[in-house]
Structure 1
Amino acid sequence: MTHRRIRKVAVLGSGVMGSRIACHFANIGVEVFLLDIAPKELTPQEEAKGFTIESRAVRNRIVNQSLESAIKSNPSPVFSKKAVTLITTGNFDDDMSAIASADWVIEVVIERLDIKKQVFDSVEQHRKPGTLVTSNTSGIPIHLMAEGRSDDFCAHFCGTHFFNPPRYLRLLEIIPTPDTKPEVVDFLMHYGDKFLGKTTVLCKDTPAFIGNRIGVYSMLALTHLVEQLGLTVEEVDKFTGPAMGHPKSATFRTADVVGLDTLVNVAQGLSENATDDEAKGVFQLPPYMQQMVEKKWLGEKSGQGFYKKIKDEGGMSEILALDLKTLEYRKQGKVKAATLEATKPVADIRKRMKVYEAGTDKAGAFFRAMHYPLFEYVSRRVPEITDEFFRIDDAMRAGFGWELGPFEVWDALGVEETIEKIKTEEKRVPGHSGDVAAWVHEMLEAGHRSFYKVENGVRHYYDIQSKTYQPIPGAEAFVILDNIRGQKTIWKNSGLTVTDLGDGILNAEFHTKMNTIGGDVIQGLHKAIELAEKDFRGLVIGNDGTNFSAGANIGMIFMMAVEQDYDELNMSVKRFQDTSMRLRYSAIPVVAAPFAMTLGGGCEFSMHADFVQLHAETYMGLVEFGVGVIPGGGGSKEFALRASDEFKAGQIEQQVLRDRFLTIGQAKVSTSAVEAFELGYLQTGKYAISMNRSRLLADAKAKAIELADAGYTQPAPRKDIKVLGKQGLGIVYAGGSSMRAGNYISEHDQKISEKLGWVMCGGDLSSPTEVSEQYLLDLEREAFLSLCGERKTLERIQHMLTNGKPLRN
């Protein structure tokens, strides 16, 4: 395979998708040209400034405004504001020649074939042979766009359908034409996965490809069920939310966010183009949705859809729900269902599906009425939209945020038992016949009982062509704890499992609620290091949960503080600090693999690892101020140590200390891995970013091996940390007083910041002095304990435990 390098990308079209795709390429360090049309007339503001239609600022107005609005949007499409410097804007008339230097041209203009063809005429004139050209269409057949193009263009042309927002949604559909070179397809599948962090799914050039074909079918099938089962908007959203392994926004809330018009466009396209689809009646909108579209109730963009936000008489915001019978908005009702209650204690999603399906109330009836036609539908889409059914599951997990794809849910319920139930289920959804595709029956007749199985730690799928189980392509690049836990577990307690990853590397996996850190996790980490030092070469701290760790178990701290059990509390905090220090000063390399929420103690442990291999989407921070304490697991000490290492001759040392101090004092949490570095939680040369979450553990394991191979030497605890004593304290106290005087912080905030300053300055030493880590840890622990004795701190902890939000008191 030829080695392509993607140095420059040209993105044609700067609308919502184009500008955000450009931002995501900039996130990974690629230079981007973002082009759009030049305006035909001046705005009054431009006229007032004396511009002409030829002025550069006017000609690039559309593209510049689009990019600016993308960068200001929330959540941000960029990892860091610095990424924007890699994007150069221009317009189709003046700057199309710039694409001659691009390695990949992505078209993201309006969904009209005639306009896309005009753009490709221009691309054909300027691109150099061998340049990739792809279209981000969501509905237009890819082969139609390639008609009339040169052989070289066709050989390098493909569909690349990003899901919105491209930074956060993991699905990237790759849709080749019969003329696309196989190596181009292989390259895009690999590049999307490794560099863009996507789940790349190979699709056939069929209407709406895979994600939207199945996703929109699933959503619209529900809209038909609602009337028959007499369900309300809020009931459907409760039933199809996290309990079912779907995102919080569930069904109708998602439709409001995406926009009803977008949903209707895809449905209309499917209704017209999926001519042989036995269930195409599903794509005809139910009457209430047709009326909503006529009234322009399109969701968030029009201010109302299935929900409407209003201000009540007291000026408080309230969200009303639409009554689908009367089409009037009303207060939301409380949703209660015994089946939902029964699913709550079941953490394992596969076991939860069984509980849900068995429900005898309307939640259970709804689960069955929704899933049985879905199983039938997806089985019949093979081989129409894909030859390998696992790609449908991949697309639904990555594009729609489902924890399990439809075939995985079917496996969880039992393939054969479910087929019997599908036959007898009442036919409520158009096209639901009561029977599944022939290949599923053939699979069962051959004695194969499930769509997937795990062999030797590798996941296999049933391959319809060969009628055997085959490893899922690319899966060997991933370490999936679910597949190896059990036979490879070496030690476990209620909070942590130690697993052998092979090649002499162990993994310590947290599995408490929100992966919070209590005594069991701390015991487990010491055990993991002890085992690794004895018989292994390195340790990874990583898990497959929703978040790496929400920090220390503050409930335990609260109990000890309320009971004034200070000896016990002192011991607990010391044990926490000792664990951080053990991670740093062990005989083997320790690699932390954080992702998503990495707060408090989770951040402190990462800061003490030899190396941090983190996912691009890591939200890292020392947030202890929010509960009225300072970081007590080594975090305050560590920031003093890092400030000391940054002091340079002739520089104002207090300034360096102040920046470090404010990061903790303002409880700053990074919005990306890049920002975690900018905030000082990561150190140059001691971290690397994995774009794809699925590759994180494998990357961390590879790093641990690399450190061990390089001849890892156990470091010695530091005794040379320069602290500023009274010189630094003066600034901290003065800053706190002026913030308090200006009413920016409360009296208690001031007290906490003075305690933090005391630790970071090494106490009130008369002059700058070199101290040891242990000296600072003792100060840190003392400050932490004294704050736990404050009533206002206890109020903050209690408020966080009961409301999940910080209290400012």
Structure 2
Amino acid sequence: MKKHIKKVAVIGSGIMGSGIACHFANIGVEVLLLDIVPRELTDAEKAKGLSLKDAVVRNRLVNNSLTNALKSRPSPIYHKDFASRIQTGNLEDDISKVGSADWIIEVVVERLDIKKQVFEKLEAHREPGTLITSNTSGIPIHFMSEGRSEDFQQHFCGTHFFNPARYLKLFEIIPGPKTKPEVLDFLNSYGEQFLGKTSVVAKDTPAFIGNRIGIFSIMSLFHTVKEMGMTVEEVDKLTGPVIGRPKSATFRTVDVVGLDTLVHVANGIAENCPDDERKDLFKLPDFIKTMVDNKWLGSKSGQGFYKKVKNKDGSSEILSLDLDTLEYRSKKRAQFATLENTKTIDTVIDRFKVLVAGKDKAGEFYRNSFGALFAYVSHRIPEITDALYKIDDAMKAGFGWEHGPFQIWDAIGLEQGIELAKANGQEVAPWVMEMKAAGSEQFYTVKDGASWYYDIPEKAQRKIPGQDAFIILDNIRESKEVFKNTGVVVEDLGDGILNVEFRSKMNTIGADVLAGLNKAVDLAEKDFQGLVVGNQAANFSVGANIGMIFMMAVEQEYDELNMAVKYFQDTMMRMRYSAIPVIAAPHGMCLGGGCELSLHADKVVAAAETYIGLVEFGVGVIPGGGGSKEMALRASDTFRKNDVELNVLQEYFLTIGMAKVSTSAYEAFDTGILQKGKDIIVVNKDRQIATAKQYARIMAESGYSQPIRRKDVKVLGKQALGMFLVGTDSMEAGHYISEHDKKIADKLAYVMAGGDLSEASYVTEQYLLDLEREAFLSLCTERKTLERIQHMLKTGKPLRN
């Protein structure tokens, strides 16, 4: 099916509808967002003398909803300017405009009667062949299209986005009885390629895949908590990052989503899944019923499992709900010996064997939880899907799990997983026992750089479809390894392109990573055509290893520190001036040194969700790995005849001085960290390494030449330095910055002005690098800088002293 989506109509502007509208605007699609007409005037409208016929009143609901969405944090939109791609209207005056849409998405209230009324109205204006889908989270798809035309039913299905639509990757596609296969194929491909989603075709069963498994997991845990006498804090400690789940873990996540939302889905499953062997688990425990009755629904009602209160001294405190007394109390710290045993295990997947072997309450909790989960997911095939990998995909993309249930089961071991289920009083599905009897011990295998899964009908391993557009580093790391040390692995991506992947903790950049980067350039220049710097961890890099800097500074080993900073600078310049193209592929957090590396690449292929910036001010220094130099250089390249050059330089100065971090890759163009016409953005992070490889090949095959080192960087000298110093004086005098902030800013000003030269001059990059390094080292001798670094190492938060 060949189709281009130029315009989308979103019907319903609530939190979900506005979020979906914003995400289509994110990818450059024109959006029509419609909602109902208000039936009454507000007091403010009456005071203005408005009537129900006025357009501002008729579009009040949709405009207020969109405005509120755009103000929310985290933002649903990549860049504030993208909101102009959304046109608003109402379902009476503007419904005819859906005729020009290529795809109509219904996102109204979860009531079948209302949805059917909306579809009847839409069909009167919809052009034949237009895609029409419902964003329901659980209403059976086959009920919705009853009574509609043949063309409507053939182009109709469910498309379930998860909230928030920008950030959660799961995109469930649920066919109706008459949906054309090519419609499903198109939406599956479009979701992955354009929307940046993990597309999963699900069966038309209650709650589909993600919510069916996710809500079971939470409801099972609610019952386990009571049986084991555990606290809210204990459960959140055990179900968060230690097992590759979000920091919000379980109870904080329920507070954010809303207990009423969870209860609504759980009730739907309990009522509509009479054959579910664990249907009793979807019945609400007494403490949940009480919370719902009390309207303790979470963040939306001001209290749920947690409650924020103000103390008499003006400070605030977060209280936890005691599940026995149902009274709020001060939070208790949760500690378990089993978790201590995993502290040296950096890779999450390697922790599960240790966790289920624990001898304390934590070990018992994990054995119960995983035993119940393994049995449940095994019985959902073929009910909710025929392929086990779709369950894992749904849980990872919709609930933020790093590993899906079958991947965790593989990590623990097939036989032990079966035993955990038995110990929980459950039996796994017969197909698992058949698989074991046939001698197959794993749900997944890796072969020829691709992931394979156990296909139940075929009783054999089968390649997971749709991988051809991706390069999965986990699948090629061992077989394609060219070099490795403690900080990096260099892999052969094929077609003459290498990839250097950071493997340090939080992907920090220390001596081992720098050595690996230099080695990767050596190898690429000798036997290959290009180099990608990319990884598939949660974050690209949180920056330089500040612990190492702190130790050298405390020990006053300034010669060694000078050499370490120079080594960093020289490595960044090696990235810039190598004989092969170097492509950086940042994603997630790309801070400090990670940002400096990206600044020195020939091209950046950034994931849309890249939070990039030079944040060194937060630890009391200036960027010392070429970042300060690079901002001065980019300002110089931006100077135009008759421009006020000081204003241009000031913008780049403020990017560093205010430690600006983009909230998306698109915002990084505004700060000058990404460059229009040179750097590009991919919406689907899974495609990032493959796309970066393609650009490395294109640049190599187009005749890449090693750049010549720059000697033409225009600096403004005393003119700029004077302006900056006056500015920092006034900022300190007005108490906007501290004395130490001023000292750091003045050092940066000296570097970016090119020192106190008497007039504007042209200098080399090395001249600026030497100034930068000198300023960096002098700040490392300051007690207040050491306090800032120490505070960051201890708390992960900046100190303003």
Same fold (TM over 0.5): yes
Q: Which residue does the alignment assign to 2:597?
A: 605
Q: Which residue does the alignment assign to 1:270?
A: 269
Q: Which residue does the alignment assign to 2:52?
A: 53
Matches within 5 A, 1:503-514: 503-514=495-506
Q: Which residue does the alignment assign to 1:88?
A: 87
Deviation at 1:126, TM superposition (A): 0.8
Q: Residues of 1 paired with 2:674 and 2:304: CA distance?
A: 43
- On the 8 A contact 2:626/2:772 being kept in 1, the answer is yes
Name the amino acid aligned to 1:280: K
Aligned residues: 801
Q: Which moved more, 1:214-223 or 1:692-701?
A: 692-701
Q: In structure 2, the residue corresponding to 1:422 is in which secondary structure?
A: helix
Q: Which residue does the alignment assign to 2:225?
A: 226
Given candidates 636, 661, 664, the residue that maps to 2:656 is 664
Matches within 5 A, 1:310-459: 310-423=309-422, 425-427=423-425, 434-459=426-451
Q: Residues of 1 paired with 2:636 and 2:659: CA distance?
A: 21
Q: Residues of 2 paired with 1:701 and 1:129: CA distance?
A: 41
- On the 8 A contact 2:371/2:424 being kept in 1, the answer is no
Q: Residues of 1 paired with 2:346 and 2:782: CA distance?
A: 37
Q: Residues of 1 paired with 2:324 and 2:543: CA distance?
A: 46
Q: Which moved more, 1:744-753 or 1:59-68?
A: 744-753
Q: Which residue does the alignment assign to 2:638?
A: 646
Q: Which residue does the alignment assign to 1:69?
A: 68
Matches within 5 A, 1:180-191: 180-191=179-190
Q: Which residue does the alignment assign to 1:430?
A: none
Q: Which residue does the alignment assign to 2:97?
A: 98
CA deviation string 1:377-417 (max 9, x = no partner)? 11111001001011001001111111111111111111123
Deviation at 1:476, TM superposition (A): 2.2
Q: Which moved more, 1:301-310 or 1:646-655?
A: 301-310
Matches within 5 A, 1:163-174: 163-174=162-173
Unaligned segments of structure 1, at least 5 residues: 428-433
CA deviation string 1:549-580 (max 9, x = no partner)? 11111111112222222221111111111111
Q: Residues of 2 paired with 1:786 and 1:292: CA distance?
A: 57
- On the 8 A contact 2:792/2:799 being kept in 1, the answer is yes
Alpha-carbon RMSD across the aligned residues, in angstroms, is: 1.1
Q: Scaled by the length of structure 2, what TM-score is found?
A: 0.99
Structure 1 position 251 matched with structure 2 position 243: no
Deviation at 1:709, TM superposition (A): 1.5
CA deviation string 1:45-76 (max 9, x = no partner)? 11222212111111100000000100111111
Structure 1 position 110 matched with structure 2 position 109: yes
CA deviation string 1:408-461 (max 9, x = no partner)? 1111111123223432x143xxxxxx3111111111122211110001111100
Deviation at 1:348, TM superposition (A): 2.3
Q: Which moved more, 1:738-747 or 1:652-661?
A: 738-747
CA deviation string 1:20-61 (max 9, x = no partner)? 110111111111111000111211211222212111111100
Q: Residues of 2 paired with 1:319 and 1:453: CA distance?
A: 45
Q: Residues of 2 paired with 1:321 and 1:440: CA distance?
A: 40
Q: In structure 2, the residue corresponding to 1:500 is in which secondary structure?
A: strand
Q: Residues of 2 paired with 1:270 and 1:563: CA distance?
A: 62
Q: Which residue does the alignment assign to 2:768?
A: 776
Q: Residues of 2 paired with 1:717 and 1:73: CA distance?
A: 45
Structure 1 position 7 matched with structure 2 position 6: yes
Q: Which residue does the alignment assign to 1:705?
A: 697
Q: Residues of 1 paired with 2:365 and 2:615: CA distance?
A: 41
Q: Residues of 1 paired with 2:278 and 2:469: CA distance?
A: 37
Q: Residues of 1 paired with 2:419 and 2:262: CA distance?
A: 33
Deviation at 1:315, TM superposition (A): 2.4
CA deviation string 1:501-545 (max 9, x = no partner)? 111111111111111111111111010000000000100001121
Q: Which residue does the alignment assign to 1:751?
A: 743
Q: Residues of 1 paired with 2:646 and 2:329: CA distance?
A: 58
Q: Which residue does the alignment assign to 1:260?
A: 259
Unaligned segments of structure 2, at least 5 residues: none
Q: Which residue does the alignment assign to 2:42?
A: 43
Q: In structure 2, the residue corresponding to 1:143 is in which secondary structure?
A: helix
Q: Which residue does the alignment assign to 2:559?
A: 567
Q: Which moved more, 1:745-754 or 1:664-673?
A: 745-754
CA deviation string 1:660-683 (max 9, x = no partner)? 111100000000000011111011
Given candidates 675, 682, 689, the residue that maps to 2:667 is 675
Identity %: 65
Name the amino acid aligned to 2:505: K
- On the 8 A contact 2:368/2:420 being kept in 1, the answer is no
Q: In structure 2, the residue corresponding to 1:89 is in which secondary structure?
A: strand
Name the amino acid aligned to 2:351: R
Deviation at 1:90, TM superposition (A): 0.3
Q: Which moved more, 1:352-361 or 1:725-734?
A: 725-734
Deviation at 1:311, TM superposition (A): 1.8
CA deviation string 1:632-665 (max 9, x = no partner)? 1111111111111111111111110111111100
Q: In structure 2, the residue corresponding to 1:497 is in which secondary structure?
A: strand
Q: Which residue does the alignment assign to 1:690?
A: 682
CA deviation string 1:574-604 (max 9, x = no partner)? 1111111110110000000100110011000
CA deviation string 1:312-355 (max 9, x = no partner)? 33322112211212211122222121111112221222221000
Q: Which residue does the alignment assign to 2:77?
A: 78
Q: Which residue does the alignment assign to 2:538?
A: 546
Q: In structure 2, the residue corresponding to 1:416 is in which secondary structure?
A: helix
Q: Residues of 2 paired with 1:746 and 1:322: CA distance?
A: 40
Q: Which residue does the alignment assign to 2:550?
A: 558
Name the amino acid aligned to 1:633: G
Deviation at 1:118, TM superposition (A): 1.1
Q: In structure 1, the residue corresponding to 2:93 is in which secondary structure?
A: helix
Deviation at 1:776, TM superposition (A): 1.1
Q: In structure 2, the residue corresponding to 1:470 is in which secondary structure?
A: strand
Change (3 A) 1:440 1:426: closer
Q: Residues of 2 paired with 1:473 and 1:772: CA distance?
A: 51
Name the amino acid aligned to 2:106: E
Q: Residues of 1 paired with 2:724 and 2:424: CA distance?
A: 71
Matches within 5 A, 1:290-309: 290-309=289-308
Q: Residues of 2 paired with 1:43 and 1:426: CA distance?
A: 56
Q: Residues of 1 paired with 2:650 and 2:125: CA distance?
A: 52
- On the 8 A contact 2:370/2:420 being kept in 1, the answer is no
Q: In structure 2, the residue corresponding to 1:475 is in which secondary structure?
A: coil
Q: Residues of 2 paired with 1:772 and 1:376: CA distance?
A: 66
Q: Residues of 2 paired with 1:599 and 1:131: CA distance?
A: 44
Structure 1 position 204 matched with structure 2 position 230: no
Q: Residues of 2 paired with 1:547 and 1:217: CA distance?
A: 30
Q: Residues of 2 paired with 1:449 and 1:796: CA distance?
A: 51
Name the amino acid aligned to 1:138: S
Q: Residues of 1 paired with 2:554 and 2:420: CA distance?
A: 55
Q: Which residue does the alignment assign to 2:718?
A: 726
Q: Residues of 1 paired with 2:618 and 2:379: CA distance?
A: 53
Q: Residues of 1 paired with 2:432 and 2:224: CA distance?
A: 26
Q: Residues of 2 paired with 1:507 and 1:541: CA distance?
A: 6
- On the 8 A contact 2:585/2:692 being kept in 1, the answer is yes
Q: Residues of 2 paired with 1:38 and 1:773: CA distance?
A: 61
Q: Residues of 1 paired with 2:482 and 2:762: CA distance?
A: 42
Q: Scaled by the length of structure 1, what TM-score is found?
A: 0.98
Q: Residues of 2 paired with 1:522 and 1:652: CA distance?
A: 38
